[in-house]
Structure 1
Amino acid sequence: MKKYIFYFLLYFSLHNVHAQRVYIFDRDSSKPISFANINYFKADNIINSNYSNESGLIDIKDTNSFDRIEVSCIGYENKSISMESIKDTIYLTKKIISLDEVVIPKKKDVLLYGYSKFKKKIGISGAKGMQVCAFVENPSEKEKFIKSFLFKIKRSEKYKTAIRIHFYKKATGKIYPGEEILTENIIKYLNGKTKGIVEVDISMYGIELPAEGAFVGVEWLGILDEKTGEFIENKENWSDTSIEYNDAINEPLTFIKSRLKKNTWSNTENLKKDFESFDKFKNYPNASFGIEVFND
C-alpha cells in the first residue's frame, strides 16, 4: 500500500510541476486585473504569450520551456519575473502619471473623424493577441477631447468575444504607432447579437486627440465562456468576428501586430498584395475605424 501511494504521489507531482495557477492583482486595490498580458521569454526572445481571464487568473504551463515571464497591462508598470520566482499571486503597480486638470466640454456637438462611414471593401477576422490600429488625422490641428471610438464588424458566431481598445500617439516624423495614450484598461465585449457599427464611449477618461492625430484600434483578447468568463481554448484562435476594411485612401494608414512581435508593426502593403489574387483593391486596405470628438 505504501509503495502504491509513493508511486501515485510521484506521478501526480510529475504531471503538475509544469503548471501553476496564478492570480494577477492591482497592488493598491487588491482587485483582479482582467486580461493582463503575459509574455514568455527564452533567452530574451518571446516564445509564447497569453492573457489572464476576467478574474485575473492564468494557468502558467510548461514552466521548463521558458526563463522568465513579463506581465503587463495598460496603466501599470511592467513586471519581469524569473521562472523559479513565480508565485501564486502577482501584484502590478499603477503607473504614476502627472495629469493637468481635465475639464471635459459640456457641449453636445461632436465631430466625426476617421473612416467609420466609408464603404466596406472586405471583412478581415482577428486572431487572439492580434492588434489592428489605423491612423486618424485631426483636421482642426488642435487638441480635442475624444467622446467615443467607432468600428464596424460582422459576426457569424454566438460566442462572447473580448477586445481591448488602444490609442497610440503618432511616432515622431513618420506615420507609425508610437506611445500608448490610454492609461486605463478599456475592455469591450461583443456578444452574438453585436453587429454593424460598435461605439465605445470613452468620454469619462478625459482622453485628448493630439493635434497631429493618433492611431486608434483594437486588440483581440479571445473568446469567452458566457457563464464562467474563462477562455474557450478548444475553439480556433481565429474568431468569426470580422472587422470592416475600406479601400478609399491610397496610403497604408492601418498597422497590424501579433502578440509574439512585441514592438513590431506592419502596414497593409503586403495585405493588399495577398488579397489581390481574389479581390482587386482600388487603393490600400484600411480598417474602418473612427472617433467622435467634442467640438469645443
Structure 2
Amino acid sequence: MRNNVFYFLFFISISMPAFGQVFITIDKDTHEFIEDVSYSLFKNKKVVHSAITLSDKVTAISPDVVFDSITLSRVDYETLGVSKQHMDSVFYLTKKIFYLDEVVIGSGNKKEILLGEANRFVKRKSSKIQNELVYGLIFFNGTPQDYVLDKLAFYVEKVKVRTAYKVNFNSVDEEYVHEGFQLAKPGELIFSTDTLYLNSTDKNKIEVALPNDFHLPSTKKMFVWIQLIGYYDENGRKYTPELDRQTKIKFQMSNQTNYYSRMADGYKKDGTTDFIANMNAMYNYEYAYRFFSTPPKSALVAPAIVLYAHKPQSKPVEMQKKTE
C-alpha cells in the first residue's frame, strides 16, 4: 500500500509542471474515491473556473488558470473550501450527517430494529472463531436516542464439533485514518455472555439473548466480537480439532466500514499482532489511490453479526389536576 501511495505521489510530482496542479477527492470516513464532485476556482473572491472532477483519473488544473482558492461540493457531502497555499493532492470530503438506517422487522408496541447488515454470504471468506480478539465489528448508534439491545445473531458454517464460546462487548476508540489505516482500540469490557455452546446440529443463524437493561447509548460505539472458549469431544473432553472441523463464522458482503481485524506489524521479526485495522476502509483507500475507483463488491466483506434492538418506550406524561 505504501508503494501505491509513493507511485501516486510520484505521478503527481512529474505531472505538476504540465498540469499545474492535480488532485483526487476521497470520502473522509470510508476512504472511497468520490467522483462527480463540482469544484470552482476563485481569484479575489470571484469565480474564474468551474468544472466537475473526473471519474476514472486524477483531476488536473490548467497552469493557465490563476486562482487563490478552491471550493468542492456534492449534494451528499459538506462543501469544502481551501486556499491555494494549503491545497494538497488529496481532498477529504465529509459526508453530510445522516442517522443510522433502521429496518423495522416487528410489529406492535416494541418494534425490533436491525442494527447491522443482511447481505449475501461470501463462503470463501468464512473465518474460524478465535480465542483472542482478532476480528469484530463496531456498532455505532448515530441517532439522538438510546437503543435497548434485545439479542445478537451471528451466522456459522455447519458446526462439526461441540464449541464453547462467549460474545463480548467492549468500549472502543477509533483513531484517525492515515494512508488508508484507521485503527481501533477496544477498551474495557462492557458485557460478556455466559459460556454458550454450539452443537453439531447447529448451522446458519445463531441467536443470543441479551440482558433486559442492555443499552447502546446515543452517539456511542461498541466493539463486538465472539470468543472461542474451547472444543469438546463426544466424551466432554476438551481438545483441538483439525482445522477443517473448527467452527467458522460466515462473512457477508458489506457496504459499511465497521469491520476491524488484527494485522501483523511487518517491522517486527516475531510477527507480533499489535494493531487492529479497519479492513474495508483500507481497501477503499487502496482502490481510490491505485485505480481511482471503488473496490468490487465482493472485496468488501464483514462478519455476519447483527444486533436486534428497540426504542425505549416513552414515559406517559402525568396530568396534574388544576387547582382552583
Q: Distance in 1 between matches of 2:144 and 2:157?
A: 33
How far apart are 1:287 and its partner, in Å? 1.0
Aligned to 2:126: 124
3-state SS of the aligned residue for 1:168? Answer: strand
Alignment of 1:210-221 (within 5 A): 210=217, 211-221=219-229
Q: Distance in 1 between matches of 2:137 and 2:144?
A: 18
Q: Distance in 1 between matches of 2:224 and 2:273?
A: 17
Asked if the contact 1:272–1:281 (Cα under 8 Å) also holds between the matched residues in 2, the reply is no
Q: Distance in 1 between matches of 2:306 and 2:227?
A: 16
Per-residue CA deviation, residues 175-210 of structure 1 (Å, 9 max, x unaligned), is 624223434453221101111111100134x32213
Per-residue CA deviation, residues 149-192 of structure 1 (Å, 9 max, x unaligned), is 111111151x2011110112230555624223434453221101
Tell me: CA distance 1:261–1:141, structure 2 relative to 1, closer, same or farther (3 Å): farther
Asked if the contact 1:269–1:284 (Cα under 8 Å) also holds between the matched residues in 2, the reply is yes
Q: Distance in 2 between matches of 1:246 and 1:215?
A: 18
Alignment of 1:255-266 (within 5 A): 255-256=261-262, 264-266=275-277
Question: Structure 1 residue 187 and structure 2 residue 188: aligned?
Answer: no
Asked if the contact 1:128–1:237 (Cα under 8 Å) also holds between the matched residues in 2, the reply is no
Q: Distance in 1 between matches of 2:132 and 2:192?
A: 19
Asked if the contact 1:127–1:237 (Cα under 8 Å) also holds between the matched residues in 2, the reply is no
Tell me: CA distance 1:213–1:178, structure 2 relative to 1, closer, same or farther (3 Å): same
Asked if the contact 1:148–1:292 (Cα under 8 Å) also holds between the matched residues in 2, the reply is yes
TM-score by length of 2: 0.47
Q: What amino acid is aligned across from residue 157 of structure 2 in structure 1?
A: K
Question: Structure 1 residue 241 and structure 2 residue 252: aligned?
Answer: no
Q: Distance in 2 between matches of 1:283 and 1:142?
A: 33
Alignment of 1:100-139 (within 5 A): 108-115=110-117, 117-122=118-123, 123-126=125-128, 128-131=130-133, 132-139=135-142
Aligned to 1:95: none
3-state SS of the aligned residue for 1:155? Answer: coil
Aligned to 2:145: 142
Aligned to 2:216: 209
How far apart are 1:263 and its partner, in Å? 6.1
3-state SS of the aligned residue for 1:249? Answer: coil
Q: Distance in 2 between matches of 1:145 and 1:196?
A: 25
Q: What amino acid is aligned across from residue 279 of structure 2 in structure 1?
A: T
Q: What amino acid is aligned across from residue 205 of structure 2 in structure 1?
A: I
Aligned to 2:76: none
Alignment of 1:52-131 (within 5 A): 108-115=110-117, 117-122=118-123, 123-126=125-128, 128-131=130-133
Give the number of equivalent residue pairs: 179
Q: What amino acid is aligned across from residue 165 of structure 2 in structure 1?
A: I
Q: Distance in 2 between matches of 1:130 and 1:145?
A: 27
Q: Distance in 2 between matches of 1:202 and 1:147?
A: 5
Q: What amino acid is aligned across from residue 208 of structure 1 in structure 2?
A: H
1:254 to 260, 267, 270: 260
Aligned to 2:309: 293
Q: Distance in 2 between matches of 1:247 and 1:181?
A: 28
Q: What amino acid is aligned across from residue 306 of structure 2 in structure 1?
A: G
RMSD: 3.5
Aligned to 2:169: 167
Identity in percent: 15
How far apart are 1:113 and its partner, in Å? 0.4
Asked if the contact 2:136–2:224 (Cα under 8 Å) also holds between the matched residues in 1, the reply is yes
Tell me: CA distance 1:239–1:214, structure 2 relative to 1, closer, same or farther (3 Å): farther
Alignment of 1:270-289 (within 5 A): 282-289=298-305
Question: Structure 1 residue 268 and structure 2 residue 271: aligned?
Answer: no
Q: Distance in 2 between matches of 1:139 and 1:252?
A: 13
Asked if the contact 2:169–2:192 (Cα under 8 Å) also holds between the matched residues in 1, the reply is no
Tell me: CA distance 1:212–1:195, structure 2 relative to 1, closer, same or farther (3 Å): same
Q: What stretches of structure 1 of length at least 5 have no aligned partner? A: 1-105, 274-279
How far apart are 1:241 and its partner, in Å? 2.3
